[in-house]
Chain A
Amino acid sequence: MNAKYLPLLATIVVFSALFITGGILYNNFFSTLVLGDILADNAFIIIAAIGTTFVILSGGIDLSIGSMIGFVGVVMANLDVVGWHPLASAGMMLCFGLAFGALQGLIIDFCEIQPFIVTLAGLFLLRGSCFMINLDSVPIRHPFVASFAEASIPLPGGGFLASSAIVMLIALAAAIVMAHFTRFGANIYAIGGDRVSAALMGVPMRRTTVSIYALGGFYSALGGVIYALYTSSGYPLAGTGNELSAIASVVLGGTVLTGGVGMVAGTLFGGMILGLIATLINFNGSLNGAWIMISGGVLLFLFIVMQRSLLSSFRLRGVG
């Protein structure tokens, strides 16, 4: 088997192990109902994390995700008040996400400022714009939102695949095609592997960098749209700290933060692992939110150490 699939495999093994543990510990845990719930609850963060996977594969980082999720919701809710159809406002916000991401990418590449700082400014700008628009939670009352939330495909075993999960899976499929079957995808891996060599080999640096961050912005805007539809409201504090969950999902999914190594599909399982931990803690009942944070940190640590040992064994054999 190709060594590059090992981190992905490890992620899937951890996910299955956690899921089976839950099934042994609690009645009714091992069901498509629980699985469908995890998918639906975490769809928005997994979507945003998929976009981040591209950014991280290229060796960059995007901190503006959480604010983008909040901003998209706030704008959609306010457009709903003045009578826009949610689909129209969603379309507009997706374009906005694309443009905002592209602008960030352009500043990163042209002004040679670190992605961390540029997207940090993006975080402040978008979150601040939320506060400027309004400070309260605004409901989205359009009937489309209710029908979107109710739409689902029944799964065998009594579970449901919610519409948000379906959107997420489509977004994931598109991302897998882009990352692994197009020249753009190959360019991302090349830049992440070694910027200088990639530039010398003729990878169009500016166009690729701008596209990567545009894609990241688009996916986090899509995550925001799904979140707004799922919660049928826009709240200026929504998505606070989600950039960390998204980055953690990517890392748990086997993508290496230095760039160039990883699989888009891993992010799905990385996000599911985080969701599964939260669900396990909910099932337990006696544990509290503090455990979610601590176990998240412990898992991150274990995964990173595992990745390091895997990567160093690749290097020894001259593969990675």
Chain B
Amino acid sequence: MWPLIALAVILAVDGFISPGFFHVRVVEGRLFGNVIDILYRAMPTALVALGMAIVIGTKGIDLSVGSVIAIVGAVITWRIHAGDPHFVILLIALGVGILCGLWNGFLVAVLDIQPIIATLILMVSGRGIGLMINLLYGGTNPSFTSPLLQGLSVGHIGLIPTRLILGAAIFGALWLLIRRTALGLFLESVGGNSAAADLAGINARLIKFAAYLICALCAAWAGVVLAADTHTSDPVSVGLYIELDAILAVVIGGGSLAGGRIYLGMTVLGALVIQALTTSILTSGLPPEYNLVVKAVVVIIVLLLQSENLRNALYARLGGRKR
């Protein structure tokens, strides 16, 4: 409920401040407007957040998604310079995601390392790996052109941006996977109580592996979109702090870091809340420097509202009945 209310409030304030906020028109054969812009820009974060929601559902966390994005961008640029067919490069990019996911899964599920630290390893070194790949063929921030990749990222099918169509397709696939197969139940039971799930006959290791694999794949696709967006490999700054935004999106969507629950739809709403905030700050005429502070304040308010202890204390203070 809370993310929906938050999003509604933000959008209502937007509509109040700038009357043309919801105006959507067709420019050069594609939809254009603030609302579309929010969806468009939120897509990579929302995608990463979906993977994050699944990992968090297993009581884990994946800090390395930003690094996965950096490595994917570097590998794509490298292979394009090497002259590989672009369709093959897409498969290579997803392969990089699978490798990263296997690495994280190996650390968490096999070596039994605490997820925050296990994924910190790739987070710390991943951007360095991206820089090394760039240096393989010289150039600090090499750029590239690829009609296929740019078509998938900034292009549009009919009126709708392609990345939104693909994003919706990935969301649909994940939803089917989580809600229409037993995998979702297994993931949540491993997050709820790993030992109990193991005793109930669920292979907890395998399930955790799957979670980190899905998360890294989502991050890899976000990496494809972001690399095609900027036409360059910039491992130092691409997707910087995206892991934090993704985790925030999950938490705003009602997911608990204690695991056991996966809310895919709410997570997407959480990502939209974050992007809507950013977009509204930009359109409202506030200096962009205020972005982080406003974001922090809204996040704190949403979190405090979700805290039962605080709500009870407020009820008691206001003379209401204590639940």
Contact = CB atoms under 8 A, between A and B. Distances in A.
Interface of A: 61, 107, 110-114, 116-118, 120-125, 127-129, 131-132, 135, 244, 247-248, 251, 257-258, 288-294, 296-298, 300-301, 304-305, 308
B135 A288 contact: yes
A132 B289 contact: yes
B291 A128 contact: yes
Interface residues of B, number: 47
Contacts of A257: 114, 116-117
Given A125-B293, A128-B294, A132-B293, 20 more contacts: A61-B116, A113-B307, A117-B257, A120-B247, A120-B248, A124-B244, A124-B293, A124-B299, A127-B292, A128-B295, A128-B296, A132-B289, A244-B124, A290-B128, A290-B129, A293-B125, A293-B128, A294-B129, A296-B124, A305-B111
A107 B251 CA distance: 16
Contacts of B118: 304
Nearest to B292: A128
Nearest to A297: B125
A113 B258 CA distance: 10
A288 B304 CA distance: 44
Secondary structure dominating the interface of A: helix
B290 interface: yes
B131 A288 contact: yes
Contacts of A122: 296
B125 A128 contact: no
B128 A297 contact: yes
Interface string B251-283: 100001110000000000000000000000000
Given A296-B124, A297-B124, A308-B113, A131 B289 contact: yes
A72 to B, nearest CB: 17
A127 B132 CA distance: 29
B297 interface: yes
B123 interface: yes
Nearest to A112: B309
Interface in B66-99: none
Nearest to B297: A125
A111 B303 contact: yes
Contacts of A124: 244, 292-293, 295-296, 299
A129 B294 CA distance: 10
Of the candidates A107, A244, A298, A304, the one having the most CB atoms from chain B within 10 angstroms of its own CB is: A304
Nearest to A245: B124
A242 to B, nearest CB: 13
Nearest to A290: B131
A124 B299 CA distance: 10
Contact of B289 (A61, A123, A135): A135
Contacts of A294: 125, 128-129, 132
A259 B291 CA distance: 34
Contacts of A135: 289
A300 B121 contact: yes
A258 B135 CA distance: 37
Nearest to A115: B257
A111 B128 contact: no
Nearest to B258: A114
A118 B307 CA distance: 12
B300 interface: yes
B173 interface: no
B297 A116 contact: no
